[in-house]
């Protein structure tokens, strides 16, 4: 049982660290972006940025929107959580970086936080399991 407890503690520490990374990433994205609405005007097909080894081809939407100064910006969504397939002409929520309007994410801003929440719940689960295995060992 001792090795199982140690393994669960190690897993909880690793997932808490990963959750911390995702928290900082989501916080940075949320607080350095401006939300607006835009329109999908086209797509660009290129290899996945997350999985270069398998080179999965993905369709990245090209969106047109107005920034807070009123300029019309056309940019490819490089950052985003694509929860469904978008269509040309569809109006979508857009997040763009305050200092670089070409750095764009599309989709629901809440989705940025989902990864953090899921990993944090997993970390809590591993911690509870480690506590349970440690207590049952002491009985």
Mean pLDDT of the chain: 85
Q: What percent of the chain has pLDDT over 70?
A: 86
State which of 59-68, 79-88, 106-115 shows the largest mean pLDDT. Answer: 59-68
Domain residue ranges in the chain: 1-138
This prediction has a pTM of 0.68
Residue 57 has pLDDT above 80, yes or no: no
Rounded average pLDDT over 63-70: 92
Residue 139's pLDDT band (cuts 50, 70, 90)? low
Give CB contacts under 8 A, 24+ apart, made by 11-19. Answer: 11/126, 11/130, 12/123, 12/126, 12/127, 12/130, 15/119, 15/120, 15/122, 15/123, 15/126, 16/120, 16/123, 16/127, 18/119, 18/123, 19/116, 19/119, 19/120, 19/122, 19/123
Residue 17's pLDDT band (cuts 50, 70, 90)? very high
């Amino acid at each position: 049982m001792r090795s199982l407890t140690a393994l669960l503690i190690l897993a909880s520490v690793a997932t808490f660290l990963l959750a911390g990374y995702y928290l900082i990433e989501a916080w940075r994205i949320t607080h350095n972006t401006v939300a607006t609405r835009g329109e999908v005007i086209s797509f660009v097909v290129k290899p996945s940025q997350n999985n270069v080894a398998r080179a999965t081809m993905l369709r990245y939407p090209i969106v047109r929107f107005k920034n807070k100064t009123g300029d019309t910006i056309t940019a490819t969504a490089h950052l985003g959580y694509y929860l469904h397939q978008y269509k040309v002409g569809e109006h979508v929520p857009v997040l763009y970086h305050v200092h670089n309007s070409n750095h764009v994410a599309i989709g629901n801003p809440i989705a940025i936080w989902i990864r953090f929440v899921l990993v944090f719940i997993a970390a809590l689960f591993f911690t509870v399991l480690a506590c349970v295995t440690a207590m049952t060992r002491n009985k």
